[in-house]
Structure 1
Amino acid sequence: MAAAIHIPDLRAAANAALTSRWAKPAVFMFALIPLIWTVWLAYTGELGAEPVLESVKASGLWALRFLLIALALTPLRMLTGVAGLARFRRMLGLFAFFYAVVHLSTYIGLDQFFDWTAIWQDIVKRPYITVGMGAFMILTTLAATSTGGMVKRLGGKRWRLLHKGVFVAGLAACLHFIMLVKGWQTAPLVYALICIGLLAFRRWPIRLARRKEPAVRTRPAAAPRSAEAPEPRFPDGSSPARRS
């Protein structure tokens, strides 16, 4: 009969793997695979009749995916108790920004050929581009303030408040995807539901903990019975009053 596998053992093994020296380089290389694969498809001519448009779509979709993965790490850590997952939030968030940069750069350089007048007209005429640009600006701000030095400059409280903007960026990116496609399609709605579910899950355990937390009442310290100084004693323990 096979020995039972205990959850604490699995949790310890997962933490050991995620905190090893090879974990971050491995995640870094895996995160580059979508870009390498898209470039390979473009090189071999397998991106279809409109390779530039497909490149724009692919990079934007991976930006949204990495953003949702970064948002999923905290709920996943809360569910599994694997604390090592927290090491990858910054990296995956920066990869979301990286793919957003690729998405925007491909649109500006290869689709519009740096025609800033046409780009501005697109932003004004097409609301989904306006929403997408808003999400990109938020991600740019978060990426620029993601270093430890910026945490010290802003202060922990202000830094955490600023980085809650990632929730707005996630919702804006999902809205950008929904508005981009023609008609009501399943995929954009699924991404939006995942984003809303992740945000709701992050809030729900906090509220539940606050409701279940018992009220703690503190009692004031008892006042001393007498404010008088203690009666002096001789080395043998006798009182001076008795000797007088």
Structure 2
Amino acid sequence: MIAQTINQTLRKVPAWPLYILAPIPVVWIYWLGITGELGVDPAKKIEHQLGLWALWGLIAGLAVTPLREKLGVNLIKYRRAIGVITFFYVFAHLLTWLVLDVQFQNVWADIVKRWYITVGMAGFAIMIPLALTSNNLAIRKMGPVIWRKLHKATYAVALLGALHFLLLVKGFQWEPILYTVAIVGLLAMRVNWSGLLASRKVAET
């Protein structure tokens, strides 16, 4: 009953305002940096916050299917917008690192030597074709079956994003661990465990 009420309300709310609202947090965090509200190293704080928002976007995108299947809440029409906005935050995160943090110095050396950067760049590279094909024209050209297969690469992006955060932090910290658990848990909810167990029993007989 609650899910039905939520779905009826969501039918009246279009996805397009999300694209308009998405840049506001980026402008806000940069404004805080410009006005000195982020301390002595604003670039690092902006970079970190944009990375967190990107990770939240990945988690939100992964949560759409489980919410529909487990709770009956249908957010499918927002999933594409969530994905595009997540790419926008990842791109802003990358640009902040390139322009404000390392200032285009020793970029390739950092990518090769620092594992967390290597992993992050791999995730970003995978996201590029996903972002470029997040439109109706791409679906028509590719066909829905191939398009869905391509966009399952989002799962790899989410895992790489979690690993990027785990490798980035120093020492034991709960925050990246909790994000990793959330991502792995959401991916595990997509697996047909009963089917896998049944197949294993058949193979053993």
TM-score (structure 2 length as normaliser)? 0.88
Q: CA deviation at 1:29?
A: 5.2
Tell me which residue corresponds to 1:81: 72
Aligned length: 198
The reply to whether residue 12 of structure 1 matches residue 12 of structure 2 is no
The reply to whether residue 181 of structure 1 matches residue 169 of structure 2 is yes
Unpaired segments ≥5 residues, structure 2: 199-205
The one-letter code of the counterpart of 1:189 is: I
Q: Distance in 2 between matches of 1:33 and 1:13?
A: 29
SS of the equivalent of 1:203 reads coil
Q: CA deviation at 1:183?
A: 1.5
Q: Distance in 1 between matches of 2:149 and 2:80?
A: 16
Tell me which residue corresponds to 2:51: 60
Q: Distance in 2 between matches of 1:192 and 1:143?
A: 23
Structure 1, 198-207 or 47-56: larger mean CA deviation: 198-207
Pairing partner for 1:148 from 116, 136, 147: 136
TM-score (structure 1 length as normaliser)? 0.75
Pairing partner for 1:136 from 105, 113, 124: 124
The reply to whether residue 112 of structure 1 matches residue 108 of structure 2 is no
The one-letter code of the counterpart of 1:138 is: I
Tell me which residue corresponds to 1:72: 63
Q: CA deviation at 1:129?
A: 0.4
Pairing partner for 1:127 from 115, 128, 136: 115
Q: Distance in 1 between matches of 2:47 and 2:62?
A: 23
Q: Distance in 2 between matches of 1:90 and 1:65?
A: 15
Q: How does 1:225-244 map to 2 (within 5 A)?
A: none
Q: How does 1:167-178 map to 2 (within 5 A)?
A: 167-178=155-166
Q: CA deviation at 1:56?
A: 0.9
Q: CA deviation at 1:114?
A: 2.6
The reply to whether residue 94 of structure 1 matches residue 84 of structure 2 is yes
Relative to 1, partners in 2 of residues 1:74 and 1:205: Cα closer, same or farther, differing over 3 Å?
farther
CA contact (8 A) 1:131 1:176 kept: yes
Of structures 1 and 2, the one with the larger relative CO (CA 8 A, separation 6+) is 2
Structure 1, 174-183 or 145-154: larger mean CA deviation: 145-154
Q: Distance in 2 between matches of 1:43 and 1:126?
A: 29
Greater Rg over alpha carbons, structure: 1
Q: Distance in 1 between matches of 2:23 and 2:6?
A: 23
Q: Distance in 2 between matches of 1:61 and 1:187?
A: 10
1:103-160: CA deviation from partner (whole Å, max 9, x where unpaired) = 0011111122233xx0011011101101000000111111111111111222222211
CA contact (8 A) 1:34 1:62 kept: no
Tell me which residue corresponds to 2:179: 191
CA contact (8 A) 2:16 2:81 kept: no
Q: CA deviation at 1:41?
A: 1.6
Identity %: 41
Pairing partner for 1:40 from 20, 27, 31: 31
Tell me which residue corresponds to 1:158: 146
Question: Which protein has the bigger helix share?
Answer: 2
